Amino acid sequence: MTETTEYMVETTGLTKKFGDLVAVDGINIKIRQGAIHGFIGPNGAGKTTTMKMLIGALKPTKGSGTIKGQKIGSLETRKVFGFSPEHPKFYDNMKAYEYLVYMGKVSGLSSKKAGERAKEMLEWLELSEFADKRLGGFSAGMRQKMSLAQAMIHEPELLILDEPTANLDPAGRLSIIKKLSQLSREKGVTVFISSHILSELEKMVDEVTIISHGRIVTESGIKALEARFAGSEYLLKTSETERVARSLENRYFVHKAWVDESDTIHIVAAGDEAVFKKKIAKVIADNGAGLEAFGIASNDLEQVFMKLVGESEQKMEKEKKGFRFRLPFFRKKEGKK
């Protein structure tokens, strides 16, 4: 019997190692029932590995997780979720309607119900005219829609979607976003979705988890996350990025600062705004740097993502440097024994 819980998905210390590689590093995720929860991170951050552990395709190295109170990987959870992978595979000789009926039966539906749902899905995803066409002739975008259709054939309470709009044109992506929002709003379906198109993801998600190097950087409601970065952050571009960035360390008018991959300095101001701007101008002049750009940072999801991942990258780099600095010290002590 399924337990009653506020969360559709909950993980504790979920970890996956492949040899010496730690792909997912002790993550804790909570996804509320009925929410659309975004899951974002750079390539190789551990998003797909996490999703595969949730659906039972990969066994965690350690840690645990539940879907609607049931242990991930159990037969009970298979009835609850539908999964659409980033790179879907099909039986290319099967026709679209035939394939969906087959998947419906595999999911436990009767032949009659599977047929009804197959027709509904093809119509819902605007594929009815291709019902008798073989999947091998489908375009990448049509195959992506078919992957979503098979994930939904048994009317799951949870959809786990890995880049579901990756191969669609802008109109197709917008259509899927609207349909998923409708599902959540009208039928209470929980959606856990990974996408690299953050401007579109932002339009639909209630909550977001950002992951980098297998670790969670933040988990928050989307509005609270964007509000957290509003107002006091500035972007600075000069001809002497490293020198100016070093000069900003431990200044009373700077809460924190970091450099992103485009050599832009992100600065979170501390104290009075007018004082902050005067001090920044002095730092630039004292370092003989030319000012190229200065302004307030925007706070959309893409910008927030870049800020948090940038901070995470710098933190990990410091950890690595700290380890390298400590290593000779330990070796020296060992040598004295």
Mean pLDDT taken over the chain: 87
| Fold topology of 7-220 | Rossmann fold (3.40.50)
Share of the chain above pLDDT 70, in %: 87
Q: How far apart are CA 266 and CA 233, in angstroms?
A: 7
Per-residue pLDDT band for 269 (boundaries 50, 70, 90) equals confident
Domain with CATH 3.40.50.300 in the chain: 7-220
pLDDT of res. 311: 67
pLDDT of 326 > 60? The answer is: no
Instruction: Pull the structure tokens for residue 142.
Output: 């049509």
Q: What is the mean pLDDT of residues 270-284?
A: 90
**265-269, 305-309, 316-320: segment of lowest average pLDDT:** 316-320
Sign of CA dihedral 72, 78, 79, 80: positive
Q: Note the pLDDT tens digit of each residue in 60-73.
A: 999 999 999 999 99
Q: Note the pLDDT tens digit of each residue in 154-178.
A: 999 999 999 998 888 888 888 899 9
Q: Note the pLDDT tens digit of each residue in 81-117.
A: 999 999 999 999 999 999 999 999 999 999 999 999 9
Q: How far apart are CA 171 and CA 106, in angstroms?
A: 32
Helix axes 96-106, 111-124, angle to 10 degrees: 130
Predicted structure pTM score? 0.74
3-state secondary structure of 289: coil
Domain with CATH 3.30.70.100 in the chain: 226-336
Contacts of 247 (CB under 8 A, 6+ apart): 283, 286, 287
Q: Are 106 and 83 in contact (CB under 8 A)?
A: no
Q: What is the mean pLDDT of residues 43-52?
A: 94
DSSP code string of 207-257? EEEEEETTEEEEEEEHHHHHHHTSSSEEEEEES-HHHHHHHTTT-TTEEEE
Per-residue pLDDT band for 1 (boundaries 50, 70, 90) equals very low
Q: Are 17 and 63 in contact (CB under 8 A)?
A: no
Sheet hosting strand 207-212, strand order edge to edge = 81-84, 158-162, 190-194, 36-40, 207-212, 215-221
- What phi-psi label fits residue 296: left (phi over 0), alpha (psi between -120 and 50 degrees) or beta? beta
| Fold topology of 226-336 | Alpha-Beta Plaits (3.30.70)
Q: How far apart are CA 164 and CA 47, in angstroms?
A: 14
Instruction: Pull the structure tokens for residue 23.
Output: 């792909």
Instruction: Pull the structure tokens for residue 222.
Output: 């989307």
The 8-class DSSP code of residue 137 comes to G
